[in-house]
Amino acid sequence: MGIVEEYTRKMASLTGRDIVEPEPGVLVLPEVQDFRRILAIGDIHGEYERLCSLWAQVDYKPDEDLLIFLGDYIDRGADPLGCLQLILEIRRLSPYVITLSGNHELMLREYFQNHDIAEPLVGDDWTFNGGKTTFLQLQKLQEEEPDEFRRIRTFLYALPYVAFCGPYIFTHAGLDENRSFVEQREEMLWKRDAFQTYAGNPFLIVGHTPVQYFGSSYHEPLLFKNRVLYLDTGSYLPDGHISCIDIKANKVWQSREG
């Protein structure tokens, strides 16, 4: 059974305000009417100043809002650790702050399958894709504040891959609605072609592929006819932003220059 059919059925049997994890990596969230706003934030990539300038505008209300981070908190920008610590602070405010994994968090986890934080940095896919600053910040943290390092590490290893919420699906990069979760678990963090291949139901919200990929003049979240919304607005690009959308009201906030 495909992922959409399977979890649409599971959602139908849910009651109350529980968050259910029917299998590791999959979250089924309460219905949309339980929240005033459904907020999603796209790729961040270590851009701490931009994240702060976005967050200052959102006016997040822990008792009323559902907030979903779409992954890629680390790598490329100057302060990935600052981003992780701010996201952890925000997460403490409510159980309805969801932090999905991006492919960069996946690359980090794969790196540490073969390498140790206490040893010198080794070149691999992750470190060549912007992971160097992340590694060096984490290495310093491990030396100076081992408890804080463990808190961050625990966070990075416990990120779900996809969240279902009523008529919406949130994941980092894309999905194939006809395949099961296990058949596409990692691919969902890398896929770029959902704007061509996705059948359109439920509404799919992704990051990963900067809107600038579709044309250099794009800076705002991009909605395709097949109901896939691309929310990565090039966080680390010179003219890029980090974006937050309220899906219900179709309102967008973006980071200011910083």
72 versus 79: smaller Cβ distance to Mn ion:
72
152 versus 188: smaller Cβ distance to Mn ion:
188
208 versus 241: smaller Cβ distance to Mn ion:
208
Member of 99, 103, 133, 184 binding Mn ion (CB under 5 A): 103
Q: Could you say whether residue 208 binds Mn ion (CB under 5 A)?
A: yes
Q: Report which residue's Cβ sits closest to Mn ion.
A: 208
CB of 129 to Mn ion, least distance (A): 9
Q: In angstroms, rounded to a whole number, what is the distance separating the alpha carbons of residues 36 and 34?
A: 7
36 versus 192: smaller Cβ distance to Mn ion:
192
Q: Cβ–Cβ contacts within 10 Å for residue 9, how many?
A: 10
Q: Could you say whether residue 102 binds Mn ion (CB under 5 A)?
A: yes
CB of 34 to Mn ion, least distance (A): 29
CB of 235 to Mn ion, least distance (A): 10
Nearest to 244 by CA among 64, 32, 56, 40: 40
Nearest to 230 by CA among 181, 194, 188, 184: 194
Q: In angstroms, rounded to a whole number, what is the distance separating the alpha carbons of residues 138 and 119?
A: 12
For strand 243-246 and strand 251-254, is the pairing parallel, antiparallel, or unpaired? antiparallel
Helix (H) or strand (E) holding 154: helix 146-156
Residues at the site binding Mn ion, with contacts judged by CB under 5 A: 72, 102-103, 208
